Structure formats: structure tokens, C-alpha cells
Amino acid sequence: MKTIFALVCWILLSTTAWAKSSLVSTITLMPWDFAGPEVVETELTKAGFNHVTLYISWTDVEPEPGQFRFEKFDAMIDRLKTSGLSVILLLDFGGRKYFNDDGSKSGKTVLPAWYINQHPNTLMRDFSGNITFQINLFDAAARKLVDRFIDNSVRHLSQRHGQSILGFAIGLQEEHEIKFGQEGYRWRDYSEKSKAAFQSRHGQPLPVLNYNNEIGQVRPHPEPMLTAHRLFREAQLRDATCHYADVIRQHRQQVVGYFGETLTSHDAIYATGIVEELADCIDIAVIDFNFYDGYSLQPSPYTLPLLASYLASSGYGKILVGAYAEKWMQAGKAAALLPYIRKTIETSLKNPAVIGFEIGGLQKPISETRSAGVDFSALQRLRINATRAPILAKRHKIGIFASKSNFYFWHGERSHNRNIHQDALIQAYALLSEHPDIDAAVIGERNLRDVAQLLRSFQAILVPHQAALPESVKQQLKAYWAAGGILIQDLRLGEFRDDGYPTNDWLHEVFGIQSVQWQRQAGTFVYQAQLIELDLGGRAYANHAVLEARPGFQLMANAMAPWPGGRLDRLRRRVFGNPPAVAAPNQGLILRGKRSLVFGCLPQLAEGASAPMWRQIFTQEILALLAPR
């Protein structure tokens, strides 16, 4: 009876409004959202929000050097406080285009005009030499002026509104995220100070990466200084972020850090891998996703849960997931996006490190030069269930490894109009995280540094299509396996170094691989006495690789000899019998060792009628390897 009563109580609590939840629910508002008296506060509280995110623009706060004005922001915060709403305040000095209070573009940036006029040499340049409006992270004079803006803003706003402020965010660039910005596909920073610093440190010029590296190319473009370039840029971001965080913390306020979508083809241009190195400087991490990959709209409900898992593994104890709709609003498709926002947030909230969510970009576009207020009708239709279900213990704990070096190397990846590295990672996470027996966590290079902790945390590590890895990372994975862990890969683990030079080794010894034969066409395999076709639908650089097994390793899917008559003959033989012969008894698609498993394909990305079967095989084989343990 007590158990039934407790269950009924939990169900009743689960149906309460967001506002009664301890979770943070915030929405980004602009000055023009406050045009009507109390309309915005009423609509937000009705929708269940308990916080609002506001941008504190440097040009508004310090219109003249040393003269600080906060009346505009005090008035907005006072209105929100009256309705019981708290705030996240983003200190905006990142150089974005400035909008007037009526929602019209001004032709200015959030940097004060006096700053741009007096300190033009403190601005970043791209590799074409063009000036950008992101402040050079090396410049000491610029840092002092930004310090002054942050210090005065945090002091005044804390004294006036302290109990209503969740934290202050650091707006380093035009999207307010901790990264380098971009204009088109031109990298930053190539200012004279940055180039001189790199030359002094490495004895080589700062490399100009004006090309893409795609795995569909016959050979990728090697870059000997690529890792040095990544570490150099990450060090700049860490130094600046932690410095500004210290200024905020002097006022006993929490530091909020916004991170753009990472583990993508844009990681290198942004240096978003810095996310692994900032947990000690950021109190609340916000991970963003606008359901857009730079080329097309992406209705992906698992990207944010995956990234939240990655941030939790990187050491962030408090995470907000940010779902942004501006690209879909501009395309007139906001209604189609709402179910994906709902699912991605509700899935993310299963992670105990996620303390809430942020909604942004719901302002209705009027024209290219003007924006209207928030679309409250869309907001009402969201209906997010922001309550937490009980966390159930699962039988198996698997770490899904995502290498920032891999994504940094494959910059601009669009082979066959996709980023196959990212797709393989997301689909692997989706399949494993939804399995009732698997507790899947996304881990990064930082997590591999402590093998003993890895063994305590994970029964197995899966490496999904991470083809370019530092040799040190491969050795750390091997050390985990040698110490008793289970190692799994789908394809091409570390076939290239992180500078692009080939190794032609997927840890062959660990996985029992004698040789690899690439096949571009669909193939047929015998798995558990069943014929199954594998077809990636022409959406990959190759369909699969036939693996030759070393002695002592078990072949789980035998390769069949090619159908001599092509697709029509293949169909005829399937209908009337007469299957093809096994190509070779020691060649196939899946090799299993005592503590290793390798697929010669990307089963999670299979297409066509057999796709569900391959996804089932993917999880089935992983569980079979884990079961005896």
C-alpha cells in the first residue's frame, strides 16, 4: 500500500507546472520584448518559465569611456522580479551586430564606438587580413577595458538585483559562446600579435587552413602543425575565459559559460574543444544547439542529450541545455521544430547534471533588418514536461568516446553531403542510451588520462568512427583494454594521426584484424544463419570493409561472394533460392575477441530494408560481449 501511495504521489508531482519545479527554465528576451506593459511577464509565467536571459551590451553600459549607465537594464530586471522571475545576465562584448530597442538593426556592434575608434588594433583579423569585431585575446590593453566593463556591471547589478541573479555569462564573440568566431569560412585570429606569439612559441608560422579535410578524399591534407595550432588557440580561450571568470567571482556570483555545438565539422574553426578544459572556471555550462548544421535544418533530438553527457563527463556539475529556433523561425517552420525541442529537452533532463534548459530564437522575423517580439503562441505549444523521472540503475555502463582531435582534423567535412563522423557518433549514442540495460555516457580525451578511473567507471568503451587520433590516445585506449576493459569500435579507429598522416592501423592487434579489404558496393553477409544485405545507400565514402581475422578471434558475420549478375540477379536469387557462396571462411564483417569487438562497417547508419536488423545487431553484439562479465 505504501508503495502504491508513493507512486501516486510521484505521478501527481510530475504533472505540476514548470514554475513549481526546482529546474531552471529560461528564455532569451530582447529589449523590444518589453514593449507592452507586463505582457511578457504574464505570458512567461503562464508558460511556466522561472528565469529570463538578458544581454548586457557593452555599448549600452559604457557609451562613453568610464561612464556607466544601467537604467535600461534595471528597469527590465525590476519588471521581471515583480513577477517572480530571476535572470541570467550575459555580459556582451563579443562584437555582434547591435539591434535598437525597437528590434531594428542599427549598423553598430555591441562594442562601444569609442572603443573601436581608439583601439582598432585590438580587434581580431581573419586569415585574409580582414578586421573582425571580436577582441584579440592576447591584448593586455583590451583586457583591462573589458575588465572595467565586467567589474562595474557585476558590481552594480549584484548590489541592485543580487538575489534574483542566477549568474553572469561571458560573451566572448558574436554568438556569445566560448570560441573563436567566423565570417564565412575565414578562421580567426590572424592578427599580428597572434602570429608573432605562435612563431615565437613554435618556430613556425601560424598555419592558414583555407581548405577542408574530408574523409571521402583519397588522401586527407596533412598538416604537421595542426595539433600545435589547436592547443595554441585553446590556450588563448582558456586564459581569457578564466581571467574574466575571476573578475565575476570577486563579486561572489556564479560564472555562466555558453558553448556552441561541438563534435562537428566546425570544431576547428571555432576551437570548441576548449569545452574539455574549462570546468574549473565555469559554474554553470550552457550547451547550445540551433537544429542547423551550417547547411540545412537538422531535426535531431539526440544532439543536445549527447552534448550534455559530454559536458558532464568533462567535469561540469551544473548544465543547462539551450534549444534555439532562429533558423527555423526564419524558414517559417517553427511549428515543425517544436516536437524536437520538446523531445531533446525532456531526454536531456534524464542527465542528473542538467539543471534546466534555455529557449532562444523565438522572436518573429519581420525582415532582414527588423525583428519582432517572442512568438508566445509557439511558446505555449511547447508544453515541456520539466520534471525528472526516477533514475533507474542499468546493468552495463559504456563510455562512448568522442575525440576533439578527430573532429578538429576533419574540418569542413561534407563527404556525400554529411558529416559521417558526427552521424555515427549521434546514432551510436541514440541506440545505446535508449537501451534499457545500457547506461551510456559520452567521454572525451580528458577522460582517457586516468586509466584506473576509466576501469572503475566503464565496463566498455566504444569508439565510433574516430579515424584521426593522436598516438597518445590510441595508447591510452590500448592501456584500458590491457588493464581489463572492453574495447569496441565500428570502423577505422586511429587510421590517421591527428596531423593527417596515415598509420594503417586500427589497433589491429587488439581487435584481431589481419587485413582489410574495402568494398564500395552493398554486400551480403551470413549472420546467425541468416542472409542480410548491408547497404549505406551510397551516402558514405565506402559501404563496408571485409576483415580477415587473426587466429583466436571469432568471426560473427561471414562475407558472401559477390552476386555475379548485379542487383537484378541478386533479387532473382533471393526470391528463388540459390544463395551465393561464402567468400572465405576467415573473412567477414564482425570480429569478436575476449574483450574486443570490431565492425567493418557503420551498422548504426545502415539504410534500406535491413537497417533495423543492423541496428539490432549493433546493440546485440555489444551486449553479447558484455554479458559474461
| 622 touches 628 (CB < 8 A) | no
SS3 content of the chain, % helix, strand, coil (to 5): 40, 25, 40
Looking at the DSSP bridge assignments, the partners of residue 67 are 64
**Which residues fall within 8 angstroms of residue 236, CB to CB, at 6 or more apart?**
137, 138, 189, 194
User: Three-state SS string across 20-62, please?
Assistant: HCCCEEEEECCHHHHCCCCHHHHHHHHHCCCEEEEEEEHHHHC
CA distance 188 to 194: 9
Q: Cis (ω within 30 of 0) for the bond into 78?
A: no
How, if at all, do strands 354-360 and 319-324 pair? Answer: parallel
Q: 10 Å Cβ neighbour count for 614? A: 25
Low-confidence ranges of the chain (pLDDT < 50): 1-20, 576
pLDDT of residue 10: 35
CA distance 187 to 232: 14
**Which residues fall within 8 angstroms of residue 571, CB to CB, at 6 or more apart?**
none
In the chain, what is the greatest distance between 2 CA atoms, to the nearest angstrom? 86
pLDDT of residue 580: 57
pLDDT of residue 365: 82
Nearest partner of 420 among 261, 262, 214, 611, judged by Cα? 214
CA distance 471 to 501: 11
pLDDT of residue 3: 41
CA distance 306 to 283: 20
CA distance 267 to 404: 8
Q: 10 Å Cβ neighbour count for 117? A: 8
State the amino acid at position 62 in one-letter form: E
CA distance 542 to 409: 20
pLDDT of residue 19: 39
* 553: Cα within 13 Å, side-chain hemisphere: 26
CA distances from 320 to 251, 309, 600 (A): 22, 11, 37
For residue 7, how far is the Cα from the chain centroid? Answer: 36
Looking at the DSSP bridge assignments, the partners of residue 290 are none
| 536 touches 543 (CB < 8 A) | yes
| 320 touches 285 (CB < 8 A) | yes
Do you know the residue count of the chain?
A: 629
Q: What is the pLDDT of residues 367-381, one digit of tens each?
A: 878 888 899 889 989
Nearest partner of 59 among 129, 4, 17, 115, judged by Cα? 115
CA distances from 589 to 426, 508, 578 (A): 22, 14, 22
Radius of gyration of the chain (CA): 26
pLDDT of residue 364: 84
* 130: Cα within 13 Å, side-chain hemisphere: 11
| 242 touches 271 (CB < 8 A) | no
272 DSSP assignment: G
Domains of the chain, earliest start first: 2-382 (3.20.20.80), 396-626 (3.40.50.880)
